[in-house]
Structure 1
Amino acid sequence: MKNQRSGVAAALSAALMSLVTANLAQAVEDPPPMSVRATGLKVATIPVEGMVCLSCAASIKKAVRKVDGVTDAEIDFVHRSLRVTYASGKVFLLGRVSTAIVGLGYKPGTPVLEP
């Protein structure tokens, strides 16, 4: 029984080391992303009512990414919200994003701008 435990411990230790090594190698290869502030982009989080499945989330994300001025859109399915990154000079963009969401049959809430 003791030999089995030491074999399991050795296997777990080797697996952990390979994960750490792989993560360190990736960190060296991938440069850190630029901050939103450094790029002149803005971020807003918009609650979305009616989003009940992953298909709903994918439809919203796809439609919002097509809005002119949106540089990224990510869904937070747990909080039922959409995080939109957009060009700072786009004054009416959040209205167009809300219109795109409504056009799919969902109800957008009030956008919360990140500092």
Structure 2
Amino acid sequence: MRYVMILTGDESNWQEPKMPEGLMEEVGAWWTKWFEAGKIVEGGAELQPTSTAKTVGPGRDGRAEVTDGPYLELKEVVGGFIMLEADDIDEAVAVAAGWPGIAAVGDKVEVRPILER
């Protein structure tokens, strides 16, 4: 089954100078380990800061309206995602539990099955 690992946290922790030294090397090692094990599929993406976002929603006239920034102003935001292949959710959670950002900066990781239609 395929799963998505949704990386969330305080985006200020992902910017210099708050990012702990060596964290990106740990992330690279984690990525290599699970990619070579066949658990990371279709890659993933690190997102730019929420300040670069645009939100599209319904306007007063029923047409789409575009606003700057994220829809909600939250301290914890989505910072990226990784696509996983695992036998079951427990295996996907075991992969996610080793994400270096959890211990280093307090990231949280949501693991959710992909809906296959």
Q: TM-score range by the shorter chain?
A: 0.3 to 0.5
Q: TM-score, normalising length from structure 2?
A: 0.43
Q: Choose 1 or 2 for highest CA Rg.
A: 1
Larger helix fraction of residues: 1
Q: TM-score, normalising length from structure 1?
A: 0.43
* Greater relative contact order (CA < 8 Å, ≥ 6 in sequence): 2
Larger strand fraction of residues: 2
